[in-house]
Amino acid sequence: MFFARELLSRGDSVSSLHVTTIEKYHRFSDIAEVNFRSNRLDNIIELVRGDAGYYLSSLDATVKFDFVYIDGGKENYAEYFRSVYSHLTIGGLIIVDDVFFHGDVLNSTPSSPKSSGVLECLSISDSLEGCYKCLIPICNGMLLVLKLRETDAAS
């Protein structure tokens, strides 16, 4: 809702704005649906009920994102990152949340599948060319990746 409100505040026409959010569990997507409607954002926010990996892997190649925020299913961060990077516009930005995962990514062998997933995502972004990358050490760490040109490095 924050992203949708921010887009609205720029004064763009509602028909040009589109936010997609993916939620796997019904108990959360039901709450989100009510909130989007009661805040009159349901005409801008598309709620996808299901698994993010499945949704992202089945996207048509013509679908493009200007901005992507990744913050769920840490075990599969690498898969999500690869998928969304291939759909990112030039000048588009990905923010990946919780990339330090409580410091576990700094252990020589991460202790959980979640931190292994986060570490793999970091390593993919590290080897990417044609983009600007920045790690912000706030909270659990945020990775910012700004795409500057097309490459096949994320494949």
Ligand X SMILES: C[S@@+](CC[C@H](N)C(=O)[O-])C[C@H]1O[C@@H](n2cnc3c(N)ncnc32)[C@H](O)[C@@H]1O
Residues of the shown chain interacting with ligand X in the complex, contacts defined by CB under 6 A: 22-25, 28, 51-53, 71-73
DSSP letter assigned to residue 16:
G
Q: How far is the CB of 151 from ligand X (least distance, A)?
A: 26
Q: How far is the CB of 132 from ligand X (least distance, A)?
A: 23
71 vs 129, which CB is nearer to ligand X?
71
42 vs 53, which CB is nearer to ligand X?
53
Answer for the pair 125, 143: CB distance below 8 angstroms, yes or no. Answer: yes
DSSP letter assigned to residue 14:
G
Q: Closest CB to ligand X belongs to which residue?
A: 72
53 vs 128, which CB is nearer to ligand X?
53
63 vs 148, which CB is nearer to ligand X?
63
Q: How far is the CB of 4 from ligand X (least distance, A)?
A: 12
Q: If residue 127 lies in a helix (H) or strand (E), which one and from where to where?
A: helix 113-127
DSSP codes of every residue in 49-117: ES-HHHHHHT--TT--EEEEEE-S-GGGHHHHHHHHHHTEEEEEEEEEE-TTGGGGGGSSS-SSHHHHH
